[in-house]
Each structure stands twice: as C-alpha cells, then as structure tokens.
Structure 1
Amino acid sequence: MATRSQQGAPSNVLVLDCTLRDGGYYNDWDYSFDLVKRYVDAMAAARVDIVELGFRTLHTNQYLGATAYTTDAFIERLGIPKHLSLAVMLNAKELLQVADQRVAVRSTFARRDHSQVSMVRIAANRNEVDKLGPSIEELRELGYDVALNLMQISEVEHPHITAFGRQAKSFDVSYAYIADSFGSLRPADIAPIMKALGDGFGTSIGCHLHDNMSYALANTMEAIDAGAVIVDSTIQGMGRGPGNVRTEYLVMELARRGLTKASVQPLVNLVEHDFAELKRTYGWGSSLYYFQSANLAVHPTYVMELTKDDRYSPSEITTALDRLNERGATSFDVRRLTDAVQGEPLHFSGGRNVDDWCTARDVLIVANGPEARAKKSEIEMFIRQHQPFVLGLNAHLPIDMSLVDAVAVCHPERAMLDTSALAELNCEVVAPGELLASLGINVKRHRDVGYRVAAAQLSFDGDGAIIPHPIVAGYALSVIAHGDAKRIFLVGVDGYSETDVRHIMMQETLDRFGEQFGSIPITALTKSGYRVQQRSLFAPL
C-alpha cells in the first residue's frame, strides 16, 4: 500500500487509468475486443500502475458491453501481463438495492487468488457510505484491496469529509478517495479537501477529478502536493460529461517531477488513433455547457442529454441548466430534465381548420430518422402504390417532396432553423400563424392551426391542438385525429435509448394518443423503438 511519510507531496504517485470504465457512459461499455486488447497492452508497456477495466455491475436486465460486467472470463481472454494491476468498480446504489450484500458480492467475485483483479472500488454518495460495511467486509475476506470513493465532493462540507475518512478507516479499506462529480472544484479548493480527508483516514488517499472547467490536471497536481498517493486519469480524458484529467498529460507531468516510472511513449498510438477517433464520435471535453453545469452543481448527465438533441439551441440549453439549478439537480432524473427543457408551457394561437381534412384516409407520417433515409426508395414506392395522405414532420425529409401533401411545424427553434426551406415548399405548411409571423416566415401555402402544451393531454379544442410536449409529432397526431383519419402509419420514427428525454416525450405522446383516439390505429412501417404496433413496409396492407 502506498503511503507518505510526512505531510505534503508523496515521493511516488500511483496512476490509476479508468478509461474503459468512465468512458463507457458514452458507448454503453461496448468497446471492440481488439480495442480493449490494444489498450491493456499499451497500459502494460507504459507501466501504468493500475488499470480499472470497467464496472462489475449487478444489473443484468439490459444490453451493456463487456466492460460493464468485466467478468474474470473476459479478463482471461485479454492475456494481460501479470505485472499490470487490475481494478473494477461497484456502484454503492446497486449494492444497497440487493436483499443481501454478502450474497451479491460472493456471487459476483471469485476469491482473489482465482482472479487477476486485485482491487475493487466502490463509488458512493455520502448517505450511502455507512451502509456498505457488509460488502466491504466480504470483499476483504475474499482477498481484495478495497477503495471507497466519495462522490459529489464539492457538495460535502470539510467536517463531513473528515467523518467519511474515519468511516472508511473503520472499514479498513486500502484507499479513501474523493470524486469531483460536478467538476466544480478549482485549484484553491483542493488542498483543504485533501487535508480534511487525510485527517480522517490517514495517508492513503486519492482523487478522481473532472474537467468541466479545464482544471483537471491543475487540480490533480494540487491534490498530489496535498498528499494524494493515488490519482485517476483516462486516455484523451474520456469520461462521463466533459471527462477527466488526461492520462497522457498526467504521466508526462509526473515523470517531469520524478513521481512515476510510467512512460507516455507506448500510449501515443492509442491516444492519437483509437481514442482520438472515439472523441470525434462522442465529443466529450470541457465546453461552455459543462462549465456552466459545474458552476451550478448540476449533474453533467443533463448536459450530455441536452447536447444529444439538435432541437435545442445554445440559449435553450443554458436556460434549461439554469432551471435545473433552481430545482436542484445534483443527481440525474429524466423527469426533471423533461420539465426543464419545456420551461413555461408553449401556446401559439391559430385557427382550427382541419375538419374533414383527411377523412377516412390513411395518413403516412414521415420523419427524418435513419430508417427513413435508408428506405427512401421503398417509402416512395409505398406512397405511389397506396396513395396515403403524406404528412412530413418539419421541412427536411428524406423522400421526394413532390409526394408530400403537407408538413407540420410547431417548435420555434426548429422553425427558425428551417426558415428558408419552409419558404421554398410547394406543399401545404401546417403551423400556427402566430408562430410563423413571430419568426417572419412566409410560406406559399399555409394551414393555420394553433396549439398549446398541457401536461398529459393530447386532444383538440377551439384554440387548436393540445399536446403533452412541444414536439411536432404530437402536434401532427392531434391535427390528424381531428381531421378524422382512418389509419396512421409511421416511417422514420426510430426512437432513441429509453432514458433519452426525446424518447420519453415521444412515447408519452403516443400513449396519450392511444388513450384518447384508440379507434385510429398507429403502425410503424420502419423499425421503431417505441411501444407501437409494428409492421413491415414490405408487407401487404
């Protein structure tokens, strides 16, 4: 166990690289086996002290990649050199949900002498720590070193940090850690926190620091100067939200100070090829939004979710973060996110002239999802063969626009982005007149239909459509139902992950439609992740 003989910086610092574990929030821990193999080989060659390969999650009710479970069988396949120390992480939340922590640990971990894993880290919030005794004791009996990580440290007062250190010491864990979950710490904040931790635990203390405000490296070096003997990092800074201190930078800085035997050279290809490509794909890193979320102590997952959706403008994202701060958002909750992005209910006045608009006709709603783009020719053939009324969602559609009868528009930001495209359309544009006028949008053919947003409602009244969320699909469904459609078909309405706020809003909209207009069947003709009747575009009607 690393120790320091006196107050101040240690003579050697352990580097724990947790790239695959923390980076898995972007790809559901589903890395290719070849990438994982190149990664561990590079880590071994670079003489990084410890590699945390992933989580060992207790949840098995969804598809996640190999490093969410990081089983001993998976580790054996990698052929990892024996000199490379391995760790995995458990979430305290999962441990506290099981009926018997000891049984859960015993069923998840072999004895240490039958595993290449030597350390198990447990990430916990302050209110979870004192309940973890059975898990920690069981892990220690199995022969593992245990590290206890206190999350959201910026929200914990120093006396409570010291109390956490004492609690961790009573559990006889190998390391006590602090994690800057919100990335809101500045260099001047670090030394008092590490001192408080050391006062309670002793010398074997460590840190995991996020890069929301680009302070991760500076903060890590401050922590080392204040006595941290083990510090976390990731390749290219890969990690949830903005990410972490970059392993390649940390190793070079520690080597310059003579505090590590690790070398950056074996990591270069990994950094500049494999993980540079992943960064281009997932786009982690500090930004205006992560800086704001750090200042407001808003959980970074909110930023991840908001920036995934191109419907939200920069000003809408920053406004949503302000609302989240007002409502308290130190943990992620998708319902809280939904409320924040909607803000005050939208209401645009307009007409209601859709009586008998599509009476007894089949209506095909076309969205611009990947499935519609992939099946462009087949959708066009379907339209020519079956002659449905074709209603597009927004101005940009993947099919021949001469086949489209109308497009629906309701979201102000999307309408503003589509101003030129809307003006060029020859088909009818269904939108609130107040909305188009407020944005200065002129269209060739306009059907004026107003709408307002009202929680858990989807209907139609004297002011136009009433929809549960400000999404164009809900607006379109309300208008079509009032227009007395026979059947509704969907293409390009693919869906997102079930925790994505866009997916949740759309599913709730579909559910409300089914409750209110159950006599009008809705069927997806291309692959869809929503709970809706599914049929193939290629099957006869």
Structure 2
Amino acid sequence: MNSKLKILDCTLRDGGYYTNWDFDTNVVDAYIQAMNNLPIDYLEVGYRNIPSKEYLGKFGYTPISVLQHLRSTCSKKIVVMLDEKNTLPTDLDYLLCPILGLADMVRIAIDPKNFDRALVLAKAVKTMGFEVGFNTMYMSKWHEYNGFLDKLNLLDSVADLFCMVDSFGGVSPQDIKEIYGIVKSKTTCPIGFHGHNNLQMGLINTLTAMECGADYVDATILGMGRGAGNLNMELLLTYLNKEGLEVDFNVLGDVITAFQPLLDQYKWGSNLPYMISGANSIPQKGVMEWVSNRAYSFNSIVRALDNKRNKVEDNARYPQFQPVEADEVMVVGGGNSSIAHLEAIKEFILHHPLMPIIFVTARHVAHFKEIANLKYYCLVGNEAKRMMKNLKAEEYEGTCILPPYPRMMGTEVPIYAAGSTFELQEITFTDHYSDSCTTLALSMALGMKASNVYVVGYDGYKGEILSEKEMDLSNENRFLFETFQKEYGDKVNLVSLTPSLYKSLKVESIYQNL
C-alpha cells in the first residue's frame, strides 16, 4: 500500500446525480465540518458548467459564492470537475478564472476516445495554476480504444492525477491488477481509482488498487453516487482504521446521519438491473432513469438489459395488428371507478354488443371475463405478468396488443396468449410515450376508425401531494389526452363515462346512457 495514499471524497459531485446537484445547506455544512475532522485529503464538491437549458442545482455549477463559503469553512483541498465533452479551452476564462484560489484541483471527466482533445484542455487548465486530474471513464472497455493506453506518456508533464474510472461498476480485482500494470508502465503520473458498486466490488477493487500502489482512491458517504453508487467512505475508513489509520467514528457517524434521509428518499445502491449493466458494461444513465424515474418493473428493466447484452433491438416479433372497424370503442383503465360503477359499465356494454373493449391494464380484467364483446389487452411493461395473475388460461379470450417493434423494454407475453398476440405497425398521433398503455389504446381506437371512444377508470389523482409514480402517470395521461383531442377532437368523440380529474376529457355520466 502506498504510504502517501490520498483519499478523495466526491459525495456532492457524484451524489448529485440523484439530487440534481441540490443539497440542503445544513447537510453541506455538516459534511464540511465532518470532512475537516476525518483523514480525507480532497473534496470534490461539484461541476463547473457552461449554462445550459436543463436545470442543474447548486453543485452542478458550483458558483463563486458557494466556493467562497466552502473555502472559508473547509480545511481540505477542494476539487471541481469539468466535463470534457461540454468544455472548450475558450470556456476556461469563464469557468476557472473566477475561482482561482478557491479550488485546488480541477478534474476532467474524459471519454478515452477524446483523449487528444482532453490533453489540450488539461494543458490550458494547468497553465492557470490548478492541479489537474484526468477522470478517465469506461475502464472496463479500454481495450476497445485502439492506441489510447499508448498515449499515457503524454500525461507526465501535465497531469497530477490519472484516475481509472470503473464507470460501469463491472471490473474485477484481476482487471485492476492488469490495467494498473499497463498504466504504470506508460506514465509516471500519480494513479487513482474511482469504483462503482454495481457488482458490490467497490471495496475489494479499491483495496486491490491500493495494493498495486495507487496514489489516490475515491469514495462517498453512504456510497452515494450515480446508478448503483460508489464505495462507501465509512467502509473504506473502517477498513483503513483496522490498518492503523486514525478515524473519529463519532464524526463519521454524524455525517452518515446527515445523509441518511437522502438515502431513504432516493434509495441508491445496487440491484439486479445495475448488476446486469455492470457485468456487461452497459451505460448507467439509461438504467438509472429506468430504475429511478419511471414505474418500470424489475422484470421489464432486466429484459431490456438482456436485449442490450445480446445486442438485439427486441427479444421477439409478432404479426402486425389488423384492426376491425368499429364505430365505438370502450377503453377500460385501472382506476377505482371501473369497480365502483362496474354494474353500470357492464349494462352499458350489454347495450353495445359490437363495441370492442380495450383494457389498458389487466388490473380489473377478472371482473369482465363474462363479457362477450371483442376484448383487447394492452401489453406494456409488467402487464403480461399482471394479466397472468388476474386471468387464468381457461378464462382468457381475446387479443393481446403490443407497441410497435422494437419496444423500449423488450417483449413479454403470457404463454397462453402467444398465438393471439399482435404488434401495432406504428403510433400515429404522438411521438412521445410510445411505451404507454394509453398511447396503445388510443392508437388502436384510431385504427378501428371509431367515432366514439368511451373511457372508464381514468380517475386521475386527488390531493396536493403525489408520489413520483403518480405524478409521472398523471402528466403522461394528461399529455396524451390533450394531444389526441388537438389532433382528432373534431373527428372523434373522446368522453369519460366515469368521474375523471383529467380536464381534457369530456365527462358524461354512464347512468345517463343506460
């Protein structure tokens, strides 16, 4: 182990992928106070970015005033990061000149394919007086970048740190030894390691890098970081304390307590989708969006990742749907009103025997199994499993419909419905939410040339406080109804026969139609 090992904490910078780089001031102050009293050498506090159209919080830009506050309270070296793909040498006057004396090191996030370009940027940063670190990503795929490793000798007069970044969280200790040996043979620059924890090997990989002689290692409080997260700083310090490093565990406990509510809220850490993506070097960005921001089931995420692993667009194809023509269609949603007004809905259907019934979800299908009308079941996400749970093989009759090929999350169909499943050729009324059951149902109604589309069970969500899942689904349905009305409102009568909070839906009482 290198006796001059430096420990870098990057909780605010890497953890910002969960909070959009917003952290409560009290949390930051508790963090700085703890770091001042722990054996940590560098704090990477955030990015310096050129203004963009997307929202980034405080530590996505790390303004001058923020760095001034940190500098006045922090006794450790302060690091900011530049993203090479978004930064030109001409941007440095704006990004770095104002923070001279406030930050000690500038680390540059680098795609190996852009190494030559990054070297130019790094030289410009170096001339400004900062320590310069190369955060070189995609470590598990470096062998695919021809000639990249042979250029590392160019770092010797420029970089103060070359950090090997296991972006996908998939390298092994043996990989560390082999790659470290190659890097060490190419450059005299100090070497660091930044591990992600997809396969729960953040600690062993970091310890292996240290045994190889690494000069720097990264970790974060509670492992907070993009995707599956990073090596837990508290775990690293506990291990190093066993090896003789002095650690104040009361202080360490205080900072863990400060970040625990964020862990409870965002629930970062490894799971099966992150494990699969790590083992197969699949980018974390998409996986993190699936796991964190959408109501996709683990099964659908795993299926999508399996398709990526096998380098296929989708795992199945089905014949194209040839819709029957129908003047009127009923779309059954998953809201409670479908059950509250079930007898009236059934009576309405009985009066309209030629009206196809489209189930956007299998949540309530068991209540309609005696209905004789044509039945269509939308299969998106986890609906196949829900359908198998709520409808036995002997109870199934009808047709299952899939979105157009290829499907974002791959394809899953109940075994008993494999012979009666079809996919739409295209979605015509919107370019958004192609994986939505509502999109599928409205597209089917258009394909059937329906003049009247009756909706039941689209209740909307009451209350001022909605879960993220409820908010996403509410916004999705609102957008789809508004888009449909704008495009086809003069041709198709879209009406809810049960109570609905969606303002773009005209509402009639189902009872007035009985």
TM-score range, shorter chain: 0.7 to 0.9
Task: Please state how far the C-alpha of 1:434 moved relative to its aligned partner.
Answer: 10
RMSD of the alignment, in Å? 4.6
Q: How many residues align?
A: 456
Name whichever of 516-525 and 446-455 sits farther off: 516-525
Q: Quick one: which of 111, 125, 135 aligns to 1:139?
A: 125
Q: Kindly indicate whether the alpha-carbon contact (under 8 Å) linking 2:277 and 2:283 is maintained by their aligned counterparts in 1.
A: yes
Work out the CA distance in 1 between the residues paired with 2:506 and 2:104.
Answer: 51
Matched with 2:252 is 267
* Cα distance in 1 for residues equivalent to 2:30 and 2:134: 29
Q: 2:376 aligns with which of 432, 457, 480?
A: 432
1:300 aligned partner: 284
Matching residue within 317, 321, 328 for 1:356: 328
Indicate whether 1:472 and 2:468 are aligned: no
Report the Cα distance in structure 1 between the residues aligned to 2:474 and 2:135, rounded to whole angstroms.
Answer: 32
Name the amino acid aligned to 2:47. F
CA distance in structure 2 between the partners assigned to 1:267 and 1:507 by the alignment: 47
Counterpart residue number, 1:239: 225
Please say if residues 353 and 449 of structure 1, whose CA atoms lie closer than 8 Å, have aligned partners that are also in contact.
Answer: no
SS state of the match for residue 304, structure 1?
A: helix
Partner of 2:410: none
Distance 1:408-1:442 versus aligned 2 partners, 3 A rule: farther
SS in 2 for 1:90: strand
Contact preservation (8 Å) 2:452, 2:494: no
Contact 1:350 1:433 in 2 (8 A): no
* Local SS of the residue matching 2:156: helix
Give yes or no for the alignment of 1:83 onto 2:69.
no
Give 2:118's aligned amino acid.
L
CA deviations over 1:319-358 (Å, ceiling 9, x no partner): 2112112339xxxxxxxxxx55xx5356697974741358
Rounded to whole Å, the distance in 2 between the matches of 1:467 and 1:319 is 22
Instruction: Output the amino acid matched with 1:322.
Output: D
> TM-score under structure 1 normalisation?
0.71
Q: Does residue 103 in structure 1 map to residue 90 in structure 2? A: yes
Secondary structure of the equivalent of 2:278? helix
| CA displacement at 1:123 relative to structure 2 | 0.9
Matches within 5 A, 1:402-417: 402=341, 405=345, 408-410=358-360, 415=362
Structure 1 counterpart SS, 2:222: helix
Aligned to 1:163: 150
Alpha-carbon separation, structure 2, partners of 1:128 and 1:226 = 27
- Separation in 1 of the partners of 2:309 and 2:65? 43
SS in 2 for 1:147: strand
Closer, same or farther: CA 118–345 of 1 in aligned 2, 3 Å? same
Aligned to 1:454: 404
1:352–1:450 CA contact under 8 A, matched in 2? no
TM-fit CA distance, 1:42: 1.4
In the TM superposition, what whole-angstrom CA distance separates every residue of 1:23-56 from its partner, at most 9, and x where no partner exists? 1111211222221222122111224211111111
Is 1:327 paired with 2:303?
A: no
Correspondence list, 1:126-525, <5 A: 126-157=112-143, 160=147, 162-170=149-157, 172-202=158-188, 204-258=190-244, 260=245, 263-271=248-256, 273-308=257-292, 312-327=296-311, 343-345=315-317, 352=324, 354-357=326-329, 393=333, 395-397=334-336, 401-402=340-341, 405=345, 408-410=358-360, 415=362, 418=363, 421-424=364-367, 431-432=375-376, 439=388, 441=391, 451-454=401-404, 468=427, 469-479=434-444, 481=446, 482-485=449-452, 492=460, 519=491
In structure 2, C-alpha distance between the alignment counterparts of 1:109 and 1:522, rounded to whole Å: 56
Unaligned runs of 5+ in 2: 347-356, 408-421, 428-433, 508-514
Distance 2:493 2:55 in 1: 31
**Which of 34, 37, 55 in structure 2 is aligned with 1:42?**
34
Q: Give 2:340's aligned amino acid.
A: M
Deviations 1:144-185 (A, max 9, x none): 111011110111139856424213225x11111110111111
Cα 1:430–1:37 change in 2 (3 A) is: farther
Structure 1: which 5+ residue stretches go unaligned? Answer: 1-8, 96-100, 329-338, 359-390, 458-462
Distance (Å, rounded) in 2 between the aligned partners of 1:296 and 1:501:
31
Residue 377 (structure 1) aligns with: none
Distance 1:63 1:434 in 2: 35
Return closer, same or farther for 1:85/1:228 CA change in 2, 3 Å cut-off.
same
Instruction: Give the whole-Å Cα distance in 1 for the aligned partners of 2:455 and 2:229.
Output: 43
Change in CA separation of 1:512 and 1:131 when aligned onto 2, cut-off 3 Å? farther
Partner of 1:385: none
Residues 170, 198 of structure 2: 8 Å contact kept? yes
Identity across matched positions, percent: 24
* Residues 516 and 534 (structure 1), Cα distance of their counterparts in 2 relative to 1, 3 Å cut: closer
Structure 1 502/302 Cα, relative in aligned 2: closer, same or farther at 3 Å? farther
| Amino acid across the alignment from 1:477 | L
- Cα drift, residue 186 of structure 1: 0.9
SS in 2 for 1:327: coil
Query: How far did residue 211 of structure 1 move?
Result: 0.9
When normalised by structure 2's length, the TM-score is: 0.74
Q: Distance in 2 between matches of 1:398 and 1:77?
A: 54
Deviation at 1:427, TM superposition (A): 12
Deviation of 1:480 (Å): 5.0
Q: Tell me: CA distance 1:111–1:26, structure 2 relative to 1, closer, same or farther (3 Å).
A: closer
Q: Which residue of 2 aligns with 1:71?
A: 63
Decide whether aligned partners of structure 1 residues 449 and 318 sit closer, same or farther in structure 2, where only a CA change above 3 A counts: closer
3-state DSSP of counterpart to 1:46: coil
CA–CA distance in structure 1, aligned partners of residues 243 and 138 of structure 2: 29
Provide the rounded CA distance (Å) in 1 between the counterparts of 2:423 and 2:287: 33
